[in-house]
Chains A and B, each alone.
Chain A
Amino acid sequence: MADVFGKQLDWVDRKLGIVEDALNAIAGLMIFGLMFLGVIQIILRAVFRSPIYGYIDIVEVSMVGFTLMSISYVQRVGGHVRMELFVTKLRGRLHWIAEFLSTVLTGAIVAILIPSSYAHFSRAYKFGDSTIDIQLLTWPAKLVVPVALSILLVRIIIQMFGYMRLAYRPDLPPVGVPLIKTVEEQAEEEIELAEEVRSTQ
């Protein structure tokens, strides 16, 4: 049987991956920006005795951009913490079914959070909620939450289909799901990273 479904899933996986990569890159750049902002703040305060007006407000409003926006990217690469003690002991179909169930439950809570975080945004939008010092509007930051969670939900649905496919046909190569690493593989990964760093020095 030609694995048409696997190919389609792989296509969707890659397309969403582009969005996720971009969001994570933006998050990284924002952290880089936070570094410059902090240094400028120190210089202005220490040398010119005039700190950036509303520095704390600016940091707080922008934080959602590098703490939450790329949550889906982390889900894709399997970066969120979990306990793998028992899941790794399961093999074949049973393993994929367990992963599928975990993913369904994750999807459930994310699905609940999307409308409720949207309500949080819409209240801020209606009342024109703003920060204390420099009256920055907070609704754009609050809107990031339901948007990021919606992207996450799409990612979780892809993973659900990915696990479903593997539970049905455990012999197929995995598509659209993060793979579990054993402690040896984790060690191997750290070593590769160290190797890469060394080769560039």
Chain B
Amino acid sequence: MIENLSDTTIGVMGVSLLIILVFMGIRVYAAAALTGFLGLWALKGWKVAAAMAGTIPHSKVVTYPLSVLPLFILIGFLAFYAGLTGKLFEAARRWFGWVPGGLAVSTVFATAGFAAVSGASTATAAVFSRVAIPEMLKHGYDRKLTAGVIAAGGTLASLIPPSAILVIYAIIVEQSVGKLLLAGFLPGLASALIYVALIVGMCTFNPNLGRAISGFSWRQRFESLPGTVPIFLVVGIIFGAMFTGSATPTEAGALGAMVVFIYYIYRAWREKQLRTVHLRLKESLVETAKLTVMIFTLIWGVFLFVRFLGFAGLPTAFSDWVVQLDVAPIWIMISILLAYAVLGMFMDAIGMLILTLPVVYPAVINLGYDPIWFGIIVVKMAEIALITPPIGLNCFVVAGVSRDLVDENGESLEIPLQDVFRGIAPFFIADVVTVGVLLAFPGIITWLPNLIG
């Protein structure tokens, strides 16, 4: 019976089966590998399918460009355990406290810096809730603004280098890792500055939301800088290596991880905690390995499915269909982005990208969009999903941390979830505006990577 079906029909059946399996809650790697295998079996017979399936977990995983991933992940976990947060917030406060809503602005810069290096959006929100909520509420800052800025600040993780998710995008769609990493820098910075403009605007209009904090001398400002050095070094190393092409991403990642590791040991030594240093190091390595294996398993599982799609000719068929639609490309792009916004609420960003890109990407390129540009936009959408109600994991984290916080008089500093969601609203709108700006002015994304040719 199956012999009578066209390849494309089998391809569509495969995609449908995959969707059903994923919605059933099967781990995505297994759902994709199983569907891919069944599809290859239907198209090419059992022998060919088994031979292909047997080589993919090894051959698709052991390629040098992918070896940067564990190192970027390691940088994140080491940064997390190295205690960069307090120093970073203090430095940001001294330098940017004087503007309207100064503490909120400082939080944006400190979270942006930490999120960039740690690459972990939700973890950043958790850590900074502890550092920033008590400080901001002590100075009479509005609770909704406080919660909103912390939840939103974490989302700057994926654009500013080092970013594991941009590496994954680059490898799936076979683009230069270096270009993608460079491309994320300006949009990441722009997102942060748009947040800052929003806060300054809101606090100028209504000073009761948050007042400026003044009284720091230049000396105090410069004294706060050494604690932030590792952040600037790591971003600088990755950025510099990509820009000059003097080291591969893997080598730059290794050097970045080394910098954070040395700082971590230095901090432990300064605080006389060298004896327990191995415990946290072990924790970082175990977590790094776990996340690495998770990502690579997804990669080979989905690749098996992609191989089947390729034989079925589905990406080409889908792409041809999209192109002949009698709709302006921009509307198709907006529909794709909305679909990602919804999907991102229910699924991990990395899983979502690996799963959808093989079909979506060829169509997007066929519509005439730039591959690098699309990568940045899609990653930004995945980050927005982290602050979109009703799921928005970052919002839950901020509300959860605040529940346990009390001020000096024992008064609760709790910020209820609905207030966090209300507080995030202006930042959510700002993000939508950012995406709009990036749609209208793609040069913000493509200018830097195009410089290296």
Contacts and interface: CB of A to CB of B under 8 A. Distances in A.
B250 interface: yes
A119 B51 contact: yes
Contact of B30 (A99, A105, A184, A190): A105
A65 to B, nearest CB: 10
Contact of B61 (A25, A34, A64): A64
Interface string B386-401: 0000010100110111
B262 to A, nearest CB: 10
Contact of B67 (A32, A63, A116): A63
Interface in A76-126: 77, 79-87, 98-99, 101-102, 105-106, 108-110, 112-113, 115-120
A39 B255 CA distance: 6
Contacts, number: 251
A190 to B, nearest CB: 4
Contacts of A83: 22-23, 25, 28, 346-347
Mostly, the B contact residues are: helix
B85 to A, nearest CB: 8
A145 B23 CA distance: 28
A17 interface: no
A67 interface: yes
A19 to B, nearest CB: 15
B54 A113 contact: yes
A25 B283 CA distance: 10
Interface of B: 21-31, 33-34, 37, 50-51, 53-55, 57-58, 61-64, 66-67, 70-71, 74, 80-81, 83, 86, 122-123, 125-127, 129-130, 247, 250-251, 253-255, 257-258, 261, 267, 271, 273, 276, 280, 282, 285-286, 288-294, 296-298, 300, 346-348, 350-351, 391, 393, 396-397, 399-401, 404
14 contacts: A35-B71, A35-B261, A42-B255, A68-B297, A80-B294, A81-B347, A86-B24, A87-B25, A105-B21, A105-B30, A110-B30, A112-B53, A117-B58, A145-B58
Interface of A: 24-25, 27-29, 31-32, 34-39, 41-42, 56, 59-61, 63-64, 66-71, 73-75, 77, 79-87, 98-99, 101-102, 105-106, 108-110, 112-113, 115-120, 141-142, 145, 149, 183-184, 186-188, 190-191, 193-195, 197-198, 200-201
